[in-house]
């Protein structure tokens, strides 16, 4: 069992948990993920490692409450435990020592995945421009953490409610045209966001890495559910990724696959809520 040591609400539908998992924390690296299971009847769900503390033996996860399992996870509190917490899985992010200046871009919840990337690069002595974008100011997460682990931080919102309206692509283009000579761009967030970032960086010939998080079941490459097309070849995000060359990813195919189980996911969440309501009424 893996005990929940801390639970914190970061924003509407976004929760942070710190899990007691010494074996995972010992080997975790930016870019890797875990697969958790709440109980014996629970589904296996992957979450990218948002942070880790080797000395304390803890792993931090940040998740959005969107379906049945994340709803169930959010119903737990500090002191409760998870049945399974397997990891670290996936290939850790590799950063070329010759890279000097990097733009790390996080879109929405993708900021939680971009954070360990920025933190690692910043502590490697690289110049890091962090660009994070949200729909509005109430959805902003990890602003202080990103500021502490970057050379410059740019926070934008779609509606301008934080005083800085625009998309992450607008902020990135502005920096590039102002003379920022990026050796690498790392983009993590919604597929459509990553697609447009890659279209922009391709124009300027800047290497771009994206993190792919498709439907995943076993996390070992056996089920094939997490397949993505990269450079015309089939790759599995769980073992070949999740980091890939963004200029070679077939984002349109990935977006189509992302919609495949929306109906089933909605039905599962509805059934769970109905059971909870029934239990409350009977109580």
For the chain, the C-alpha Rg in angstroms (whole number) is: 19
pLDDT at 266 over 70: no
Structure-token pair, residue 230: 């990269």
101-211: in CATH 3.40.50.80: yes
- pTM, two decimal places: 0.86
Helix axes of 168-177 and 191-204: crossing angle, nearest 10 degrees = 10
> What pLDDT sits at residue 259?
73
Mean pLDDT of the chain: 90
Please report, in angstroms and rounded to a whole number, the separation of the first and last CA atoms in the chain: 29
Burial class (CB in 10 A: 0-12, 13-18, 19+), 80: middle
Residue 274 is assigned to a ligand binding site: no
Structure-token pair, residue 108: 């929405």
**Residue 263 — pLDDT band, cuts 50, 70, 90?**
low
Q: Nearest Cα to 187, choosing from 120, 243, 252, 135? A: 243
CATH domain 2-89 topology: Elongation Factor Tu (Ef-tu); domain 3 (2.40.30)
> What pLDDT sits at residue 241?
87
Residue 198 is assigned to a ligand binding site: no
> What pLDDT sits at residue 146?
96
CATH 3.40.50.80 occupies which residues in the chain? 101-211
* Cα–Cα separations (whole angstroms), residue 144 to 9, 82, 148, 163, 258: 15, 29, 6, 17, 31
Residue 64 is assigned to a ligand binding site: yes
Residue percentage of the chain with pLDDT more than 70? 92
Tell how strand 233-236 and strand 84-89 pair up: unpaired
Task: Give the E-state strand segments of the chain in sequence order.
Answer: 2-11, 14-20, 33-37, 45-48, 51-53, 58-64, 81-82, 84-89, 101-107, 127-134, 152-157, 184-188, 208-211, 227-230, 233-236, 243-245
> What pLDDT sits at residue 57?
97
Residue 62 is assigned to a ligand binding site: yes
Q: pLDDT (tens digit, 9 = 90+) per residue, 119-151?
A: 999 999 999 999 999 999 999 999 999 999 999
Question: What is the three-class DSSP state of 174?
Answer: helix
Question: What gap in Å lies between CA 66 and CA 44, rounded to an integer?
Answer: 15
pLDDT at 283 over 70: no
CATH 2.40.30.10 occupies which residues in the chain? 2-89
Neighbouring residues of 97: CB distance < 8 A, sequence distance ≥ 6: none
Residue 165 is assigned to a ligand binding site: no
CA angle 25, 28, 29 (to 5 degrees): 145
SS3 for 103-133, per residue?
Answer: EEEEECCHHHHHHHHHHHHHHCCCEEEEEEE
pLDDT at 72 over 80: yes
**Residue 25 — pLDDT band, cuts 50, 70, 90?**
very high
> What pLDDT sits at residue 66?
86
Q: pLDDT (tens digit, 9 = 90+) per residue, 89-120?
A: 989 888 888 899 999 999 999 999 999 999 99
Backbone dihedral region of 131: left (phi > 0), alpha (psi from -120 to 50 degrees) or beta?
Answer: beta
Residue 122 is assigned to a ligand binding site: no
pLDDT at 77 over 70: yes
> What pLDDT sits at residue 61?
96
Average pLDDT over residues 236-253: 92
């Amino acid at each position: 069992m893996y005990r929940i040591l801390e639970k914190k609400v970061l924003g509407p539908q976004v929760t942070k948990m710190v899990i007691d998992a010494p074996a995972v924390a010992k080997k975790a690296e930016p870019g890797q993920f875990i697969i958790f299971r709440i109980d014996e009847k629970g589904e296996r769900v992957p979450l990218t490692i948002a942070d880790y503390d080797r000395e304390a033996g803890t792993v931090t996860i940040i998740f959005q409450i969107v379906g049945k399992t994340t709803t169930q996870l959010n119903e737990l509190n500090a002191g409760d435990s998870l049945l399974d917490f397997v990891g670290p899985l996936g290939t850790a992010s590799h950063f070329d020592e010759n890279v000097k200046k990097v733009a790390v871009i996080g879109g929405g919840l993708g900021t939680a995945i971009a954070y360990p990337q920025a933190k690692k690069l910043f502590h490697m002595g690289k110049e890091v421009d962090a660009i994070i974008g949200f729909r509005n100011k109430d959805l902003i997460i990890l602003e202080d953490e990103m500021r502490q682990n970057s050379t410059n931080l740019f926070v934008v919102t779609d509606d301008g409610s934080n005083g800085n309206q625009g998309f992450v692509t607008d902020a990135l283009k502005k920096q590039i045209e102002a003379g920022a000579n990026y050796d690498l761009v790392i983009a993590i967030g919604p597929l459509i966001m990553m697609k447009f970032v890659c279209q922009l960086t391709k124009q300027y010939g800047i290497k771009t890495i994206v993190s792919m998080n498709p439907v995943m079941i076993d996390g070992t490459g056996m089920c094939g559910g997490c397949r993505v097309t990269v450079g015309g070849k089939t790759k599995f995000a769980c073992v070949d990724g999740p980091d890939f060359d963004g200029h070679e990813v077939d984002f349109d195919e990935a977006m189509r696959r992302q919609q495949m189980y929306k109906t089933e996911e909605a039905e599962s969440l509805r059934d769970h809520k109905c059971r909870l309501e029934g239990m409350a009424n009977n109580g």
